[in-house]
Structure formats: C-alpha cells, structure tokens
Amino acid sequence: MSLIRKLANIFASGSEGHFAVFGKHPGWNDHIDDIGLNTRRLTELKRVLYVQGIRGNIDSGRWKALEPAERNEKFHHLFISYVPNDIVIGRFWSSTDGKGRSSYPMVVAGECTSFPLDWCLNTISPMLESFEKGSIITDSAGTIQRLAEAKQAELLSAIANADFRQMLTNPTPQQWLSLIANQPYMKENPDRLLRILYQFVRALKPYTHDRFDAAQKSGLHRSQHLRMPAFDTPEESGRTWIRFLLNYLHPNTPIFAIIPVDLSWVDLLIGPVDQNGLFCISASLERLPLTSEIPYNLDEAFVAQATNEINEARTVTGN
C-alpha cells in the first residue's frame, strides 16, 4: 500500500464535516433559527463566540464605551478555532434582522474532524466566502437554508474526494521562524519579532510542553491575548501564526484566531476563550496595539538568545 493511500485511510477514518449558520439575517425577525448546529463543538462555538463574546460585550456596554478611534464599526472577520483533530473555520459579517436591527453579525462555520489545518483552511474558507456573497443578496430564510444545505453537501464531497498529497508538507520550526523573521514588517525593525518572542516566553508558560499538564491540573490555564501583524491574505495570516505558535506550545493547546478581513492584524486567543478575550473583535489598534509594537523591557540575555535563534533559522533555511 502506498504512503498516500495509507494517509488517506488515516485521515478519512472517522472524518466528519458540518456546516452551521447562526446570528442575524433579514430572513428572520430576530436571531436565526440555528442551522446545522449538530455537534457539541459547534454548539459550544456559538455559546462562546456569539452568546458570551458578542452578546456579552454588547450587553455590558464595553464596545459602546470605546472612543470612535478605538472602535471597529463593522464586523467582517475570518476565524479559526483550532484544537487537534477538530478544526472549525468560520466567518462573520455585519448584518440585520428582519426588523432592521444591526447590532449582531451573521455567522457561518465549517467543522472538520481528523483533517489538518491547511486542508481545512483551503477547503472551507472559499465555501464561507461564497456563502457570504450569496447571503447578502437575499432576504429569504428559505434561500439561506438551501445555501447551507448546499455547502454541507459540498463539504462532505470535499472530504470524500480529498487529495491527500496536499497534506504531506510540514515545515520545520526553523522554517516558520525564518518565514516570519523575513517579512518586510519584521525586517524593518528587528525588535518587533523579539517583542513577540518575549511575550511567548512570558505569557504562555502554562501552555508549554513541560508545564501544560501541571498547569491544567492546577487551574492555571487562562485566556491569553496576542495581537499580531497580518501577512498576505487573512487565511495565510491565520495559518502562519497558528503553525508558528504550535512550535512553542503543547499540541493540546486550544488556539482561537480572529482575523479582520479588511484590516492588518490577527488576534490570537490562547487557552479557554471568554468574553474578555473576545473584546478584541471590535477594538482597533488605538485600543489594543500590536504585540510587536509594545515597548517591553527586554533583558540582554533574552535578546542574545532570541537573536541567535532567529539568525540560526535564517542560516539553516538559506534566508
């Protein structure tokens, strides 16, 4: 049996795909009658993102209290909810209900089990974008339901016909470090990457390989927020930062990436996601600056070690 066929059997065994819709749309006078929330993972996603996160920040008045320069006025985001072997790719955008109320977005999400992140992003993200385009030109609930059914069928077909040769690439940690270090934004000011690495060391200790289990047992896993610069497309930016983070963290660490489609950053929530962490959705750079722009006091030993790692990565990868 060929390697590709063996991988096909591994990935396809027990793989599932689910497409869900919730939030606001003119076809419903209030919140959408949930479509496709057939798994615990998607149900939990709605509770955390939509009920606790979006509704919680609206009802508490935290977003409304932001100054105009501190607030993003509209929703238009891609998100990636990563846990091993169960990945959700989603998208939400500003919308209204049938009565014209516009405080809440419309949300669509595709869940895929037992498939790698790259395949999920490449497969699900175009479906979400296509669904968004179809949803904004109709005010019919029936049309939305049919669109969702079509995307569900499309996702299942993609799983059944997956090209597993696309899943064989797995860049090394040094390749990811070199990739980020060589971004023009990072090369313009080398301190930017040093600040990011410093926050990895300082804030993410409970999620590292050697501390994860003990921290989990002790209840020390708290949500950590990092705001990173975006590179290339929203999908590529989310993929790059998640894959880079996983080089430093225990593989069971949950990561939630939120990428504004039309803006220039990626919000990373490491650990359990809560209302406070999701405050970032509507907070601009005036309110939450990039981690790379915060002037941390970096000690000489850390700078020397981190700089050596960056230079070594560039040398090994020929960059």
Distance from C-alpha of 257 to C-alpha of 266, rounded to nearest angstrom: 7
Grouping H, G, I as helix, E, B as strand and the rest as coil, residue 88 is strand
If one compares 15 and 238, the residue with the highest pLDDT of the two is 238
Cross-strand pairs, 18: 111
| Domains of the chain from N-terminus onward | 3-167 (3.30.450), 173-317 (no CATH)
If one compares 22 and 205, the residue with the highest pLDDT of the two is 22
For 2-21, what is the mean pLDDT? 66
**Which two tokens mark 237?**
């930016």
Helices assigned H by DSSP within 36-116:
40-45, 56-59
- Tell me the backbone φ, ψ of residue 281, rounded to 5 degrees: -55, -45
Could you tell me what percentage of the chain is helix, strand and coil, using 3-state DSSP and rounding each to the nearest 5?
A: 50, 15, 35
Contact (Cβ atoms closer than 8 angstroms) between residue 195 and residue 181: no
pLDDT in tens, 142-197: 999 999 999 999 999 999 998 766 555 677 888 999 999 999 999 999 999 999 99
Distance from C-alpha of 173 to C-alpha of 244, rounded to nearest angstrom: 7
Q: How many CB atoms lie within 10 A of CB 120?
A: 24
User: In what helix (H) or strand (E) does residue 148 lie, and over which residues does it extend?
Assistant: helix 141-160
Contact (Cβ atoms closer than 8 angstroms) between residue 11 and residue 22: no
Task: Say which residues have a Cβ less than 8 Å from residue 275's Cβ, sequence separation at least 6.
Answer: 52, 53, 56, 57, 60
Q: How far lies 280's CA from each of 51, 53, 74, 153, 289, in Å?
A: 15, 10, 13, 33, 10
Grouping H, G, I as helix, E, B as strand and the rest as coil, residue 59 is helix
pLDDT in tens, 269-294: 998 899 999 999 999 999 999 999 99
Which band of pLDDT confidence, cut at 50, 70 and 90, is reported for residue 248?
confident
Residue 1's pLDDT is 47
Pairing of strands 76-82, 86-94: antiparallel
Residue 4's pLDDT is 47
pTM of the entire predicted model:
0.92
Residue 55's pLDDT is 97
Residue 247's pLDDT is 85
Grouping H, G, I as helix, E, B as strand and the rest as coil, residue 275 is coil
Cross-strand pairs, 76: 93
